A and B are shown apart, each in its own frame.
Chain A
Amino acid sequence: MLGIASPELALAYVLCIAASVLCIIYGIIKWNDSGPLTEELRDLNQWAPEGEGK
């Protein structure tokens, strides 16, 4: 396949491209998914009950 003699190595070639495409799709789907902001997490820690927060 693709001029590569070993099917295992042709698979490696295809998987390199597939993994890159996976990263692109993941990045697009999760583009605006922020989770909790570092600032919010810090505030949470500051107001934590004694013994739990910083």
Chain B
Amino acid sequence: MTVKIILALAYLAVVFYLGYKGWRETRQASDYMLAGRQMNPYVMAMSYGATFISTSAIIGFGGAAALFGFPLLWLTFLNIFVGIFIAMVFFGKRTRRMGVALDSHTFPELLGQRYQSRFIQGFSGVVVFLFIPVYAAAVLIGISRMLEVSLGINYYVVLLGFVAILAFYVITGGLKAVMYTDAFQGSLMLVMMVILIIFTYSTLGGVTEAHQALTDLAPQMPASLKAGGMLGWTQGAKPFTPLWLVIYTTIIYGVGIGVLAQPQLAVRYMTVASDRQLNRAVLFGGIFIVLMTGVAFVVGALSNVVFFRDLGKISVAVAGGNIDKIIPLYVTKIMPDWFEILFLLAMLAAAMSTLSSQFHVGGTSLGRDFYEKGLASGGRGELRMTRLGVGVTILVTLVWGLFLPPSIIALATAFFFGLCAASFLPAYFLGLYWKGMTKLGAVVSMVGGFATSFFFLLFVHTKESAAIGLCKAVFGVDSLAQSATQGSGAWLLQFTDPNIIALPVSLILAVVVSLASPKMDQKHLQLCWRNL
């Protein structure tokens, strides 16, 4: 225990030093919001990756991989190909150049200025500010529960202490402090995951041997999962069964595509000085992500073989049904003792790097996008307002953290990613590539995508609608889709991610309304495209 506490303190000392370095180098609003647009490519890539990959990806989704097996590797593929390659090459470069042309400081500001709309900036800011605390709270709950078990400290003390440390360096040091600490935290995560995968494959006798053992374990798949359509961990699920829909629409499509419209990630493209940093970040990011979600999902799935060999039970049974406990239990029961300490620090790092960026983007959304620009309150005291915004985001997250139920990590992540994709993705993508995209098209697409996604979350997609309870209160059922004929397309909607409907709706609205509405001013478009 003493070693654990000493190492945790050493880790925090480095974080505080980097936070202090960020604070010292922060003099103006562009330092606070965009790290002075001069960030090193390694720091940018690690910060992007460490923000992207939180405890949700490793513990929440690693646990989901223990349940569903290798189908989750499609998510890793999308994380790398879409989340890194497409994101940086096709979104990142244009975002940086247009961001400079329009002097944008945040993702909502880029959208607002591209479409010359205070409403768009204010609306985007409000969506981010209102919903990012839910996602942040899920990350906060995950790490606090873990520290409670591992260090034996009271859950509420951990929750408050954790938030106080983050508040200290995010409020004072802005994005520079966030990115410096992210890079350190990402490096720590990288070392831990490399050890985890090498240990797991070697304990099972090699790559093919380990996979074969998991294949042979298929008869042990729980009956409830088989009834939902699962065939085995390396066999996948029967197409269009309820579990197939959960895996492929919510987890893979929702999170895999949703990454493109994440405000806390998109803002990082604007922190570098040229395309060179983005090109190099593609290399670092590609390696980082495969070692994060790739390792977490493979180890999560293979944990079934190891647990069955050593304890005679598959992972979900060892964890008593709570999939968020599977990866921590694997580390405690299977990995060497010294690794447990490294894992704990890496999970601290994963949570802190994601939370710091969530707090920062929530704060800039409230201070800069909603208050200053959306309400047109002028530029006086902009840094103070943004710092205040960060403080408010942290408080709201803390409140959510006290009330959200357990086993919420993967769900809340998918919820935020999905909502961002439906609201922002068509307006963002078409705004970068299509001069014919108009202000009205963007407004209708954003509001329509948000409303559709939200309607499905409240009244159709059972996982959220049952938890929220509004559908039950109004209509007496958990989901409106339950009243349809069992097995029909309408009935299956209760298992289908809201974005399967909401994203195409948002895209169609963007294109149709833009074609039918007045074109934007040519001079403004020339300015937007000046650097592209």
User: What residues make up the interface of A, taking CB atoms closer than 8 Å to B?
Assistant: 2-6, 8-9, 12-13, 15-17, 19-24, 26-28, 30-39, 41-42, 44-45, 48, 51-54
Closest to A54 in B: B103
What are 17 A-to-B residue pairs whose CB atoms are below 8 Å? A3-B210, A3-B213, A3-B215, A6-B70, A8-B236, A9-B236, A13-B70, A15-B77, A16-B77, A20-B287, A20-B294, A23-B285, A23-B287, A31-B276, A33-B276, A35-B276, A39-B273
Residue of B89, B209, B235, B526 near A6 (CB, 8 A) is: B235
B530 touches A48 (CB 8 A): yes
Query: Complex: how many Å from CA A30 to CA B272?
Result: 16
Residue of A8, A16, A45 near B290 (CB, 8 A) is: A16
Contacts known (A23-B283, A45-B530); A5 close to B215, Cβ less than 8 A: yes
Contacts known (A3-B209, A52-B523); A12 close to B279, Cβ less than 8 A: no
B234 touches A44 (CB 8 A): no
* Chain B hits for A3, CB < 8 A: 207-215, 234
A27 touches B274 (CB 8 A): no
Majority-rule SS of A interface residues: helix
Majority-rule SS of B interface residues: helix
Least Cβ–Cβ distance between B283 and chain A, in angstroms: 2
Query: Complex: how many Å from CA A15 to CA B75?
Result: 11
Query: Complex: how many Å from CA A24 to CA B213?
Result: 31
Least Cβ–Cβ distance between B403 and chain A, in angstroms: 37
Closest to B235 in A: A5
B274 touches A38 (CB 8 A): yes
Query: Complex: how many Å from CA A15 to CA B96?
Result: 29
B179 at the A/B interface (Cβ < 8 Å)? no
B268 at the A/B interface (Cβ < 8 Å)? no
Least Cβ–Cβ distance between B157 and chain A, in angstroms: 39
Contacts known (A2-B211, A3-B215, A38-B100); A9 close to B279, Cβ less than 8 A: no
A23 touches B80 (CB 8 A): yes
Least Cβ–Cβ distance between B446 and chain A, in angstroms: 25
The listed residue with most B CB atoms (<10 A of its CB), out of A5, A15, A23, is A23
Residue of A15, A32, A34, A52 near B527 (CB, 8 A) is: A52
Residue of B70, B73, B275, B523 near A33 (CB, 8 A) is: B275
B37 at the A/B interface (Cβ < 8 Å)? yes
* Chain A hits for B96, CB < 8 A: 38
* Chain B hits for A30, CB < 8 A: 275-276, 279, 282
B101 touches A41 (CB 8 A): yes
Contacts known (A12-B71, A44-B530); A20 close to B215, Cβ less than 8 A: no
Contacts known (A6-B235, A27-B282, A27-B286); A41 close to B211, Cβ less than 8 A: no
Q: Name 10 extra pairs, CB < 8 A, besides A4-B211, A4-B215, A12-B71.
A: A5-B215, A20-B80, A22-B85, A22-B286, A23-B287, A26-B85, A26-B283, A31-B276, A34-B274, A52-B523
Least Cβ–Cβ distance between A54 and chain B, in angstroms: 5
B19 at the A/B interface (Cβ < 8 Å)? no
B93 at the A/B interface (Cβ < 8 Å)? yes
Query: Complex: how many Å from CA A23 to CA B204?
Result: 29
Residue of A2, A6, A37 near B236 (CB, 8 A) is: A6
The listed residue with most A CB atoms (<10 A of its CB), out of B93, B97, B280, is B280
B232 at the A/B interface (Cβ < 8 Å)? yes
Query: Complex: how many Å from CA A37 to CA B448?
Result: 37
List the 7 shortest-distance A-B pairs measured between CB atoms, nearest first. A23-B286, A27-B283, A3-B211, A35-B275, A3-B212, A30-B279, A34-B276
Residue of B235, B272, B294 near A16 (CB, 8 A) is: B294
